[in-house]
């Protein structure tokens, strides 16, 4: 029987599907050394984001046939090392689409309506109604950098808020642009003209620090940057400097160059909304990821 090792917690519905066609062992919180020893004898390794599947781990897994990521990104897996061994790598990029798109709007609305400050002041017994006049999303321009699944989901929701859309991607989805009355433009144009800029790109050599001091300098002083993709896409020091100098109005971040972002100057700034990488952290998204990946593993083993 196929032997599967699960090293990060997955939804029980996915685990049940795996147990229907394989012998499943669950061992979360393993150290690198423990994983190197444990992986021997398993055909499939299932991870989320915590486990780092290095070349050493792949080499130690002599029987590995499939490495599965119950989620979207593959940056914690040495895909090239796996491919060199003929090991299939599968993931579930479909699963977090709705969760991440909704989080983008949670961030935007929190910033636009001063939700965090309002909550904190109310709990201090204060009534800051006049000091907390916000702004509407209606009529604002949202710049979407990356129009894959999540970027498009954000765009469709933005139209319901009566926002205008500017798009940037190396691969343009003309049908999406037509459906949302959006326009593809150069990145510099998007940055100059958007009231909100939301990032939805994978972490690649060409996207690392794609938003730095120069790009932030192009944005409106009233603009807000939102990042729910990968922390390394933004130069955090440049962002902190832009926020401190009020070159942009604010930032809403769910991902960071270092997680958790200990001692980051962003933690002390009043014009930021921060969440601890919650993008895919919904019950529905976690279930979808586990179920989708279980089905893909079964298909990959055929």
- Taking 50 as the pLDDT cut, the residues of the chain under it are none
User: How many angstroms separate the CA atoms of 154 and 49, rounded?
Assistant: 23
Tokens of 215: 């790009």
Looking at residue 147, what is its pLDDT?
98
Per residue, the 3-state secondary structure of 103-170, as one string, reads HHHHHHHHHHCCHHHHHHHHHCCCCCCHHHCCCCCCCCEEEEECCCHHHHHHHHHHHHCCCEEEEECC
Q: Which residues are catalytic?
A: 230, 259, 277
Looking at residue 73, what is its pLDDT?
83
In terms of phi and psi (left: phi > 0; alpha: psi -120 to 50; beta: otherwise), the region of 263 is left
Looking at residue 265, what is its pLDDT?
95
Per residue, the 3-state secondary structure of 247-282, as one string, reads CCCEEEECCCCCCCCCCCHHHHCCCEEECCCCCCCC
Looking at residue 302, what is its pLDDT?
85
User: How many angstroms separate the CA atoms of 8 and 43, rounded?
Assistant: 16
Looking at residue 75, what is its pLDDT?
87
Tokens of 44: 């499939």
Report all structural domains of the chain as residue ranges with CATH numbers, in order of start: 3-92+283-300 (3.40.50.720), 97-274 (3.40.50.720)
At 143-168, the pLDDT tens digits run 999 999 999 999 999 999 999 999 99
Looking at residue 286, what is its pLDDT?
96
């Amino acid at each position: 029987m196929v032997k599967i090792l699960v090293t990060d917690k997955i939804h029980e519905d996915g685990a049940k599907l795996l147990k229907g066609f394989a012998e499943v062992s669950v061992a979360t919180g393993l150290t690198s050394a423990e994983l190197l020893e444990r992986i021997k004898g398993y055909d499939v390794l299932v991870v989320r984001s915590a486990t780092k599947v290095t070349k050493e781990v792949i080499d130690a897994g002599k029987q590995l046939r499939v490495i599965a990521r119950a989620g979207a990104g593959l940056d914690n897996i040495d895909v090239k090392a796996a491919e060199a061994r003929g090991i299939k790598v599968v993931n579930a990029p479909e699963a977090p689409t709705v969760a991440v798109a909704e989080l983008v709007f949670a961030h935007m609305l929190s910033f636009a309506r001063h939700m965090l400050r309002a909550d904190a002041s109310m709990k201090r017994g204060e009534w800051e109604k006049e000091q907390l006049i916000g702004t509407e999303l209606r009529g604002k321009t949202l710049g979407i950098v990356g129009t894959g699944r999540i970027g498009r989901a954000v765009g469709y929701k933005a139209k319901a808020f009566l926002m205008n859309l500017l798009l940037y991607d190396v691969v343009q989805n003309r049908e999406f642009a037509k459906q949302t009355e959006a326009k593809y433009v150069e990145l510099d144009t998007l940055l100059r003209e958007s009231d909100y800029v939301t990032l939805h790109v994978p972490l690649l050599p060409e996207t690392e620090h794609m938003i730095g001091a120069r790009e932030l300098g192009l944005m409106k002083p009233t603009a807000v940057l939102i990042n729910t993709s990968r922390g390394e896409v933004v130069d955090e020091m440049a962002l902190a400097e832009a926020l401190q100098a009020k070159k942009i109005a604010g930032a809403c971040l769910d991902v960071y160059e270092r997680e958790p972002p200990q001692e980051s100057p962003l933690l002390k700034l009043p014009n930021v909304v921060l969440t601890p990488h919650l993008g895919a952290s919904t019950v529905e998204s976690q279930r979808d990821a586990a179920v989708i990946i279980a089905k893909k593993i079964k298909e990959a083993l055929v």
